[in-house]
Chain A
């Protein structure tokens, strides 16, 4: 049963005739309000994940819960469908349970708060904010156990609850939740910060209603959604063909020895409607790499991608959702069945962007981007320091932005919005470690007319014994290049123990013990190249080499011969380019750097690691009939 909204005033909103200027002004006012929500949150949160890396996302939705301004689309529909209770003035809802909101949030670490904004007894809008909590209990520090088999191992589950009921904080529940977290003060403070951001949204909405009138404000939000729908409709018509496009990509493994897992998607358009069908995607995993993909969230990814590519001035909101249909088969790795574990969904979440890029690009290759830093690798380090105090670090890594029509990909940057790195001096001041290396990896970006960005090498020297976790991907498959661009280099992790022994680490592992003096080199992957590298200006290739972003040897992949001082050997380069062009033949749309079979066959030689075994799918997984446990839980 869906949630029941209680209003003391059920007068329907009057649709008023708005002049376009007022509409524009309301739009600006809401954009400002969203920025203010962010500002409040980042300044007052305590966990480095939110305060430094900005792993948190605000939203303001209209009275029906459609996102008018925000980042990750509306969480509202999933919530309303799953919540069986009343919604009243003064209530603030909290949940972290993906299964209860159809994946509107996708793992337990993300705490989602939602608040109806009432004026005169009626809901005029919704404010929402979610943030990634550094720890919510569970079997490992950081609450992201790769090898979890069930969601119960991943920390405290909070179904949608009223954390504020009619304006009163439910302190007992909050304490219960915090009791289950390793760093309760961070959770408490981040929670406070999130609530402060919601209050900010509420204040702004109320002020705007006072300024423009409630009906005018509500009408304006509706118009903003329509405006987006019109603009997106035009783009969809232009760039999505009616003929079917197919693309597949992979996550490399599940952290328990099996992989890769395939994500398959077919795209076509029927009239006004674009259809994304994930038929052919592999069944769910027995570990926690599953990603409960919310259809609406996928639409939002799509919208963000399109808007940036075609007209960044379009206000990004849910208006166009009716124009897109998303079909995800149940029981697949993108629609797992409870109680499948979900915590390490970050790899699939990222990979969705490469899928989207590959699919859309086939329809309009000029706008196609290469595969990029489609993940947010995690590093975690925890233990007790000399004084017996618990320390716990959760950090998101960065890598190479892909080569794009707009130019080279940035080196060691984030694909995720608003994310920033944690300054190393901050890490060294607050955690028992030293960052002995912080630079991008030469030649890791895929060669292309526009070079893929380089991956990042971060050398962590540990000063206290403790445990670390590594969560990464693209160690087996390459970030692919496009339009003649080459793939980017893959990720790897090298542990150099204090005694000098070296060890290549698995891409996904938990509870690795480290001692003082050990150094872990966490090397992320580079972005794929865009366009024909043989067309790249040799002067630019030379400059990249002078800057140490590529090596003299690496320059040859562009068909450029450099002297030891990095000056261009023009004649030699001309010859080399002619020869390479002849040998290569026609430029391919995609360069994956080999098939899965080829990559597996040379895995041991390339990486020193054993290739993952082909996943064995349990019978019930993805079958039409869910198992009893799942059924009972749903």
Chain B
């Protein structure tokens, strides 16, 4: 990061005043949303991967070196004129990745249908050793990371976000970072981007109006769902079910039937289907979903219906369940496919617009979108199956954490990403995030692979209260959200939040440099805290510490879910804290979990950009193949796995990833015959070749034992087969800091006091930008930086490593 900034050019000032104007309008919103640890995970930002942690700055962040080396005329027009979504060429017919599926077929199994995959000409292959760019758009800042693939050298930049049209901020950032690196934007070959557009579409409920086509007799599949009523015994008294995302009045039925083995029981009545679809014309339907019973075993009828729909209602995108998720369970498949339809138009528009803007500057650049499972999808694949992007934002943080921790030499991690309203945690083993076949956003659950991120409704904005009846202190899940936000933000919030507790305890010092001109309102936090203190009969600071302890306990529960409950010992893991509020609470969580070191990577936004930029291109192809071991053979399964691998590899070919750089992993979902759950056994092609199904069964037994304390002698059953193909890892290296001695005092800029374990204790505040590698910061201490504040507890010490992480460990 260049720190020798010259004065801003006129052009820069112009841009800035433009941005200031936008920001002025958004300031109120963002201040609530963007305050310390209080970014709402809602519409107010475009990437959940950045936990906005400080009040927004109006001034350009000092870390940007405003080098006026780019000729203004070249740059100004596209930036000052918000990009209208450019018309991009009609999407090429998307490859059908899914191979045929069949369930428990006795002999003979239905003949496999051919995989129809158009083989388009590979796109421009980026020059070997080109540049790749990671972009993370947060509510306040847009972070960029440029990697020179030859040297591994990286450049970073941080610019204000432009929430009304985020591509403006992105393009501005690209100009800055290119200027800094001294290269032309056109030399960037790939842009990697994590986005929360898909998530926010679900959260804000502004997706497309979706029409649904089901098998006759199954119209109410989403209305009935799984018949589940949450809330325990008597939970029905207060349970109000949300309406399906595809309204029942826009759901029609097809006269057709497949058997569980994929045989046609009743052929599709095509003429009647066309009439039925015609009735949806004029209803305002913007997207169609086809989800037929047993379509996981044979998707022919779904494909036929899509053709009919494309004729009857041209221009309306059609998602079919046998392509989006060819897996058993009709409700989950229908819901997943409907969610895909629901978010598809919004996501397509966003990606197309960004693509067009990028192409206007960097002709032929490849845009990749980070998927929920931490892999990268091409822009086309992302538009086709946006249901895979629901956790794109959090995945950026996790993959970034993996990457930066690897630079520091840690590969077993618990990630702890605490935002304003919720906290995401995940477990990383040997540098690989656990994934699961389920993605949840609010009360929407879909069957799509995502990094196994568990979310708890606990964040900086979580409100503390004392119910009349029990007199227990509760924290959350209600949140002060973006508006009005914690009391400390002085935006009219009066409820005591976790952030207010941090203020009262001195963890968020009101006199400290908090990035920008906003002052925390200590008195307001105290007033808010007073309410709870009174009800509890405790002092203000005691109460505040109680609130912090309880919210920590909630997050501890989530961390246990991903670790202890899965059979992992948290003592074998380092805890990586990020997000707006993560660095404040991470040390305490480390104590609870006994996970050391607690690692605080530099800058949460940069972290996500790192994740975006360093992730590998990935595709997978899967097939449900329900068979007991004795009813199939090593060879039959190998044949399917190879076919799936070839399908996935084709996608990477299309992305310009040479075969030599591709690696393949087989994933075999197994269970004991009779069980409902499956565990995924990972095997390389060599592993499978030498050990076959027997080896897979052995590995399954070991996993079952680890997770559930017992293994059975019951036979094994295959469920899903998957092949995962990835491009090679990025050679990027993290920036290194200047090395200094153990003494950090040069970075200390203020004395303060923090309240820990019932006592006020003197502490120092450090400026993170001034810390050097090798510095050891003794707790209690507070380390501030642009968009984050770290708390080091008494009895602990934070060591600065070569790449700028703070590694906190107990002393002695």
Contacts and interface: CB of A to CB of B under 8 A. Distances in A.
B708 A44 contact: yes
Interface in B183-228: 217-221, 223-224, 226-228
A66 interface: no
Interface stretch (A32-40, A473-481, A503-511): A32-40
Nearest to A404: B237
B553 A28 contact: yes
B296 A425 contact: yes
A604 interface: no
Interface stretch (A143-151, A307-315, A329-337): A307-315
Interface in B673-708: 674-677, 704, 707-708
B127 interface: no
A531 to B, nearest CB: 15
Interface stretch (B20-28, B241-249, B741-749): B241-249
Contacts of A19: 546
B236 A28 contact: no
A316 B232 contact: yes
A425 B329 contact: yes
A355 to B, nearest CB: 14
Nearest to B543: A21
Chain B interface size, as a band, is: 35 or more
B560 interface: yes
Interface stretch (B380-388, B435-443, B467-475, B520-528): B467-475
A391 to B, nearest CB: 12
A459 to B, nearest CB: 7
Interface in A42-64: 42-46, 48, 51-52
Nearest to B674: A46
Given A412-B227, A438-B217, A440-B220, A417 B674 contact: no
Interface in A408-459: 408-421, 423-426, 428-430, 434-440, 456, 459
A106 interface: no
A194 to B, nearest CB: 11
Contacts of B474: 24, 313
Interface string B433-474: 000000000000000000000000000000000011111111
B183 to A, nearest CB: 51
B227 A426 contact: no
Interface stretch (A9-17, A541-549, A622-630): A541-549
B557 interface: yes
A36 B559 CA distance: 13
A247 to B, nearest CB: 17
B240 A437 contact: no
Contacts of B708: 40, 43-44, 193, 196
B238 A309 contact: yes
Contact of A28 (B217, B234, B237, B550): B550
Contacts of A421: 224, 226-227
A29 interface: yes
B217 A51 contact: no
A633 interface: no
B330 A424 contact: yes
Nearest to A21: B546
A438 B239 contact: no
B554 interface: yes
B536 A406 contact: no
Interface in A178-203: 185-186, 189, 192-193, 196, 199
Given A43-B677, A227-B470, A421-B224, A304 B234 contact: yes
Contacts of A420: 226-228
Given A51-B676, A309-B238, A430 B104 contact: yes
Contacts of B714: 185, 189
A208 B77 CA distance: 63
B233 interface: yes
A414 B228 contact: yes
A23 interface: yes
B409 interface: no
Contact of A417 (B231, B296, B468, B546): B231
A365 interface: no
Interface stretch (A157-165, A228-236, A464-472): A228-236
B90 interface: no
B473 A46 contact: no
Nearest to A46: B674
B329 A426 contact: yes
Contacts of A549: 223, 248
A428 to B, nearest CB: 4
B248 A308 contact: no
Given A43-B677, A196-B710, A417 B237 contact: no
A114 to B, nearest CB: 18
B707 to A, nearest CB: 8
A398 B331 CA distance: 16
B103 A429 contact: yes
Interface string B118-147: 000000000000000000000000000000
Max count, chain B CB within 10 A of own CB: residue among A20, A21, A417: A21
B568 to A, nearest CB: 14
A324 B634 CA distance: 63
Interface in A549-570: 549
Max count, chain A CB within 10 A of own CB: residue among B219, B472, B704, B709: B472
A29 B553 CA distance: 8
Contact of A231 (B234, B235, B470): B470
B104 A429 contact: yes
A437 B237 contact: no
Contacts of A44: 675, 677, 704, 708, 710
B234 A309 contact: yes
A378 to B, nearest CB: 15
A382 interface: no
B328 interface: yes
B647 interface: no
A601 interface: no
A263 interface: no
A71 interface: yes
A137 B371 CA distance: 50
Contact of B470 (A46, A314, A369, A407): A314
Contacts of B229: 401, 410, 413-417, 419
A312 B224 contact: no
A254 to B, nearest CB: 26
A189 B672 contact: yes
B174 interface: no
A413 B236 contact: yes
Given A438-B221, A438-B224, A428 B232 contact: no
Contacts of B228: 413-414, 418-420
Contacts of A417: 229, 231-235
A72 interface: yes
Given A313-B474, A439-B217, A308 B237 contact: yes
B565 interface: yes
B674 A308 contact: no
A305 interface: yes
Contacts of B561: 32, 36
B712 interface: yes
Contact of B219 (A306, A414, A439): A439
Contacts of A307: 234
Closest 4 CB pairs of A and B: A231-B469, A304-B233, A21-B546, A547-B248
Interface of A: 19-21, 23-25, 27-29, 31-32, 36, 39-40, 42-46, 48, 51-52, 71-72, 185-186, 189, 192-193, 196, 199, 227-228, 230-231, 234-235, 300-301, 304-316, 369, 372, 398, 401-402, 404, 406-421, 423-426, 428-430, 434-440, 456, 459, 543, 546-549
9 contacts: A24-B546, A228-B470, A309-B234, A313-B467, A411-B220, A414-B229, A416-B229, A423-B226, A425-B294
Given A44-B677, A428-B260, 18 more contacts: A32-B560, A44-B710, A51-B675, A230-B471, A231-B469, A301-B233, A305-B234, A308-B231, A311-B469, A369-B237, A414-B228, A417-B235, A425-B296, A425-B329, A435-B293, A438-B224, A548-B220, A548-B248
